[in-house]
Chains A and B, each alone.
Chain A
Amino acid sequence: MNYPDFVTTNADAFLRSRNIGFDMLATLAREQGFDDAQVLLTSSPVHGIATATSDIDLICVTPQAVSKGQMATQIHRDGQHCEILPIGADDLDRAFADLALLSRCALPQRLAGYQRWDSGHAVRRKYLERIVYAVATDGGAHHLAHLPALVPVAAAQEYDAFHQGRVCAMLAERAGEPEAARGYLINACLSAMAAALSLGGWVLSNKKWTLRRWRKAAGPRMRVVDPLLQDRLTAMWSSVCEPAPAATAREIAALDEIDRRLGLLMGAPSLSGAMPHTAAPCTHAALDKRSAFLIGGDGRARIAATTEAQDPPADLASLATIAAAHAASLLRSARSGALSFSLVAAGSSVEEREDAHALAD
């Protein structure tokens, strides 16, 4: 996939469809005081998925420092709704340098680093992703050189979301919550699609665009997605759109093959089938012999049966046989935030050994 051609062609087509040009975008930015900024067209127009009501999202990379928490300016001009956000060039350089470092970490560290990214960087994750694919008003896609660093970091997030959706779908099915199981399956399917697209170089975290990108990726000359995943996930989406409990159970089982394929493509095959977890500390305040308030560190509480306190099984396969009450209690803990099935909790040693073997081979 030639991404420079992809984004510049999409940008040109979008501007033609709106009867405007890059000069109009540059003028808008100048009028806002960004005379010496690199003006970037971002978001759906450069990905070729904009609709008739899509905003025009511009980012101005300025040589001047930009205060933290800067909000975008909304501008309405000639029927176009534009959003302009300034970002400091120094902040962007630091963000790209840190992204490159993060991309070389093992998957759990990549996850953890990106999850706390926004608290330590002036350039938030969603804007970093936008800038990588952005087209400047001189017609160039100047930041696509950072795509190789973005791909492993973004794909890891989507793979983790897929993994957690899969675990919760299995728990909901065991707990006798078929509607919730279907909801988690829908999320797992969409996350797997997003992970597969990211691995092919097409990163866009906003879930509302995932299905549209998926269909486009199946088009001629795209060659973005692994063929097995393209086939299985397209079939799975058709199935999950039908409210049939038997289909939900079948598709939850089919997530195993998706997981193994994604794990392989992620370079972390040992993580598919693993079920690491993290439990948030909480104190118990008994109400009676049967129940207690579980009080978290954030001061929020929920009441639960005292028999609920059971650990998750050690691996995904064991979820298929746990008792309904056990599954329901794990699901309540996950929903309350007291229990996480994120792969952040996976040790990196296994993956690092796999990387070492791959290098030796």
Chain B
Amino acid sequence: MPSPIEPQSPAVRGIRWFPRINAGYRFAAGDHVTSTISAAWLLMTELRAYIEDLAGARDIPDAAALVKIKIAELLLQVDAVLGRAAVPHEMHRLPLLMAYGLSDVAAMDGPAATRLLGLDAPTDGAEVDRLIGILEALLAAFPSDLVDALQPENQGHVLRFLRSANKACERVGCDAGFLAPLMTSL
């Protein structure tokens, strides 16, 4: 079995999260605003919720193992959103990640993404801690403050985020209505 990647190992420290965003590439404004806001929302709601699920399942390997799969599917979804591709149906997300890896969340091939997310590793408490560390690093690398949207102390931040998202949409002439299905999917 391939060795899992430790959160503090050079392999993880060397990951360039969100390479096109952090490298400074430019995009068509409307598409860039909608895709970046959609990705940020998915990360601060769904990924944060999965991190909470992982922590709760620290001593329940059967639950944690499937949370890892849900995280893999979510990252493939975020990758497609950032890449402006139609998001594949849920049934294809895990296989696509395992075969083709990620591009816009982090540039890595399928086997590397599989190892990083521990899809081949037994899910014990140490593995849960390792994965949470990786996901926190991913969230910290996004160029926006991706707080936990479900925590009461963050409600003000989330409302400001939504107001700012709305203004950014107005500025580039796109409809902020695309946020509605993301919000109701919670």
Please tell me which one of the listed residues B94, B96, B111 contacts residue A335 in the complex, with CB atoms under 8 A apart.
Answer: B96
Q: Say yes or no: is A242 at the interface (Cβ < 8 Å to chain B).
A: yes
User: Which of B69, B111, B114 counts the most chain A CB atoms within 10 A?
Assistant: B69
Please tell me which one of the listed residues B67, B91, B150 contacts residue A208 in the complex, with CB atoms under 8 A apart.
Answer: B67
Within 8 A of B (CB), among A40-62: 49, 51-54
Name the distance in Å between B68's Cβ and chain A's nearest Cβ.
10
Within 8 A of B (CB), among A174-232: 177, 179-184, 186-187, 190, 207-212, 214-215
Within 8 A of A (CB), among B81-105: 86, 88-89, 91-92, 94-100
Q: Which residues of B contact A51 (CB under 8 A)?
A: 53, 56-57, 60, 63
B-contacting 9-mer, from A31-39, A160-168, A251-259, A303-311: A160-168
Please state if B56 and A52 are interface contacts (CB–CB under 8 Å): yes
Please state if A183 and B53 are interface contacts (CB–CB under 8 Å): no
Within 8 A of A (CB), among B118-173: 120, 150, 152
Please tell me which one of the listed residues A72, A81, A183 contacts residue B97 in the complex, with CB atoms under 8 A apart.
Answer: A183
Please state if B91 and A209 are interface contacts (CB–CB under 8 Å): no
Please state if A186 and B111 are interface contacts (CB–CB under 8 Å): no
Please state if B55 and A53 are interface contacts (CB–CB under 8 Å): yes
Q: Say yes or no: is B1 at the interface (Cβ < 8 Å to chain A).
A: yes
Q: Say yes or no: is A283 at the interface (Cβ < 8 Å to chain B).
A: no
Q: Say yes or no: is A18 at the interface (Cβ < 8 Å to chain B).
A: no
Name the distance in Å between B81's Cβ and chain A's nearest Cβ.
14
Please state if B1 and A187 are interface contacts (CB–CB under 8 Å): no
Interface size range on A against B: 35 or more
Name the distance in Å between A195's Cβ and chain B's nearest Cβ.
14
Name the distance in Å between A230's Cβ and chain B's nearest Cβ.
15
Q: Which residues of A contact B98 (CB under 8 A)?
A: 179-180, 182-183
Q: Say yes or no: is B9 at the interface (Cβ < 8 Å to chain A).
A: no
Q: Say yes or no: is B23 at the interface (Cβ < 8 Å to chain A).
A: no
Task: Give bound CA distance, A335 to B94, whole Å.
Answer: 12
Please state if B92 and A335 are interface contacts (CB–CB under 8 Å): yes
Q: Which residues of B contact A214 (CB under 8 A)?
A: 62
28 examples of A-B residue contacts, CB within 8 angstroms: A49-B63, A52-B56, A53-B53, A53-B55, A71-B184, A71-B186, A72-B186, A74-B150, A168-B95, A177-B95, A180-B110, A183-B94, A183-B98, A186-B69, A186-B94, A207-B66, A207-B70, A209-B63, A212-B62, A214-B62, A241-B65, A242-B1, A242-B120, A243-B120, A335-B89, A335-B96, A336-B88, A337-B89
A residues contacting B by CB (< 8 A) are: 49, 51-54, 69, 71-72, 74, 76, 81, 161, 164-165, 168, 172, 177, 179-184, 186-187, 190, 207-212, 214-215, 241-243, 298, 300, 334-337
B residues contacting A by CB (< 8 A) are: 1-2, 52-53, 55-57, 60, 62-63, 65-67, 69-70, 86, 88-89, 91-92, 94-100, 110-111, 114, 120, 150, 152, 183-184, 186
Extra 10 A-B pairs, beta carbons < 8 Å, given A179-B114, A243-B120? A71-B183, A165-B91, A168-B91, A179-B95, A179-B111, A208-B53, A209-B63, A211-B63, A336-B88, A337-B89
